[in-house]
A and B are shown apart, each in its own frame.
Chain A
């Protein structure tokens, strides 16, 4: 892997940069809110970002998948198929969700939906097997297991 330099942008986020094997200088901006920007530096003026691609968190997930994270997804899909009738899903908790600030127990998620939250991804860290006292925050991604119907109910509960 190429050497990646990291620069803090106070009030904005973090910028990562590296040089491709072709010699192009590429940068990725992580905004505090979860937005991403992909920039390519100008050849004549290496300080200038020549083209800019603006991605929200959904777009960047799609792009990263297209760029090769698919292998991981395929592996997961293969695993899912082994457990007949059960599905594993990632459900994000948006800021508007009524579950933000409430615990898994409060929401009675298990008894209401039949699906179980088996892990919660928060930023860089992961909470494996969260208990009923675990409180959701905006931007969390819940990893849940259940029947397709149960997961649909859980999705509604977590996203609205």
Chain B
């Protein structure tokens, strides 16, 4: 409350009116997206473009509050993601999917990285764009698979294990990017990266080892106190992680990973509405920083990059599903399922918006997510209807 007041400069009623109107717009958009069977993220981004700087209706009083709420949204997104996986699932994912994970990382990082260099950006901004094109949206992929009734399909475990590996790779990638963004001299950067990686390793070990104790301590709590404890813990660990140059998002991810058993299930149900609320404000506040005009300028780049990385994701899916002995149809379905980029790409891009090329980076990332988040679900829907070239069939049988 005091925060809201501070952000509003004491003008609480105006802030309420602004926030209320903005959230209602998001509600309508979310409903609309559900109607046409599309993810809501692109619409949230568009709303942010229209409402934010350079848009039609500016929100001034509550902007700082929306920004902070957005940061909390990132933590909750990553926390909920960590919560989805148990340590046995992580190990199984790593074992079965590491080859496909490497193909996926190389094939989808390089197009973004190369595009950044071609645009004349510095190396750090290009590395950030590489991350943006690398990581599929776990949220959109899971929803598409579930909506199309494909969770039972034989290629689905391979799709999910690619996602697991991408998410785990983020635990290394995000701190490295954080260090690259923060420092300029090569020596300093190397030290910061090393410290960050050691810290991630330490937290990860702690999360895996101490997870059961943590869950046992939280188990008897009532729903109310469990929610408060988990929310507090996520912010606290996130903040501490940020202090030691590890990204706060990864801190939150590891907290989610640490919870197990009944506590994990209860927390999932409790945190979901909070996550949805704060994550929506995150997409909004990210789009606030992007000018609609600059987004239109880079739209062609985003479309081109989207098409190239749709093709590289098809390769990822082809290889991943192939390792399970799936035939060509299933391999194509796996590829199309992975095309959508979403929340993760925006989280990565938000790290780089402070760079000298940050404005362009933000615009490209937003446009890119708009393109792929629409392209992915549409391609998935038609994956079973495209004719398969006999050559491709032969290739799959080999």
Q: A residues within 8 Å of B by Cβ?
A: 7-12, 15, 27, 29, 32-33, 37, 39, 41, 45-49, 52, 95, 100-103, 122-123, 135, 137-139
CA distance A135 to B220 in the complex (A): 6
Q: A10-B161, A33-B268, A47-B327 are in contact. List 17 more A-B contacts (CB 8 A).
A: A9-B156, A9-B160, A10-B85, A10-B89, A11-B138, A11-B163, A12-B142, A45-B327, A46-B327, A47-B154, A48-B154, A49-B149, A52-B152, A95-B223, A101-B225, A137-B219, A138-B262
Contact of A100 among B154, B266, B326 (CB under 8 A): B266
CA distance A11 to B143 in the complex (A): 12
Contact of B220 among A29, A47, A48, A101 (CB under 8 A): A101
Report whether B160 and A11 are in contact in the complex, using a CB–CB cutoff of 8 Å. Answer: yes
B90 contacts A by Cβ under 8 Å = yes
CB distance from B312 to the nearest CB of A (A): 22
Contact of A39 among B138, B152, B220, B330 (CB under 8 A): B152
A46 surroundings in chain B (CB, below 8 A): 154, 327
Report whether A27 and B223 are in contact in the complex, using a CB–CB cutoff of 8 Å. Answer: no
Interface size class of B (residues with CB under 8 A): 35 or more
Report whether A7 and B223 are in contact in the complex, using a CB–CB cutoff of 8 Å. Answer: no
CB distance from B91 to the nearest CB of A (A): 9
Contact of A8 among B92, B151, B321, B330 (CB under 8 A): B92
B93 contacts A by Cβ under 8 Å = yes
Report whether B151 and A9 are in contact in the complex, using a CB–CB cutoff of 8 Å. Answer: yes
B384 contacts A by Cβ under 8 Å = yes
Q: Identify which of B93, B221, B223 gathers the most chain A CB atoms within 10 Å of its CB.
A: B223
Q: Mark B236-260, 1 if CB is under 8 A from A, else 0.
A: 0000000000000000000000000
CA distance A10 to B95 in the complex (A): 12
A122 surroundings in chain B (CB, below 8 A): 262
CB distance from A65 to the nearest CB of B (A): 23
Q: Would you mind naming 7 contact pairs between A and B with Cβ atoms under 8 Å apart?
A: A9-B151, A10-B93, A33-B265, A48-B153, A48-B384, A95-B266, A137-B262
CA distance A27 to B265 in the complex (A): 24
A32 surroundings in chain B (CB, below 8 A): 84, 265, 268
B371 contacts A by Cβ under 8 Å = no
Report whether B155 and A47 are in contact in the complex, using a CB–CB cutoff of 8 Å. Answer: yes
A41 surroundings in chain B (CB, below 8 A): 154
CA distance A70 to B262 in the complex (A): 29
| Shortest beta-carbon contacts, A-B, top 8 | A47-B330, A39-B152, A49-B152, A11-B84, A47-B154, A10-B89, A52-B149, A137-B262
CB distance from B375 to the nearest CB of A (A): 22
Q: Mark B359-398, 1 if CB is under 8 A from A, else 0.
A: 0000000000000000000000000100000000000000
CB distance from B382 to the nearest CB of A (A): 14
B157 contacts A by Cβ under 8 Å = yes
Report whether A12 and B151 are in contact in the complex, using a CB–CB cutoff of 8 Å. Answer: yes
CA distance A46 to B31 in the complex (A): 35
CA distance A27 to B155 in the complex (A): 14
Q: Identify which of B153, B330, B384 gathers the most chain A CB atoms within 10 Å of its CB.
A: B153
A103's nearest neighbour on chain B, judged by CB, is B220
Report whether A37 and B152 are in contact in the complex, using a CB–CB cutoff of 8 Å. Answer: yes
Report whether B327 and A8 are in contact in the complex, using a CB–CB cutoff of 8 Å. Answer: no
Given the interface pairs A10-B161, A10-B164, A46-B154, the reply to whether A139 lies near B265 with Cβ below 8 Å is yes
CB distance from B31 to the nearest CB of A (A): 22
Report whether B93 and A47 are in contact in the complex, using a CB–CB cutoff of 8 Å. Answer: no
Report whether A8 and B220 are in contact in the complex, using a CB–CB cutoff of 8 Å. Answer: no
B268 surroundings in chain A (CB, below 8 A): 32-33
B99 contacts A by Cβ under 8 Å = no
B223 surroundings in chain A (CB, below 8 A): 95, 100-101
B228 contacts A by Cβ under 8 Å = no
Contact of A10 among B163, B222, B326 (CB under 8 A): B163
B4 contacts A by Cβ under 8 Å = no
B384 surroundings in chain A (CB, below 8 A): 48
CB distance from B146 to the nearest CB of A (A): 8
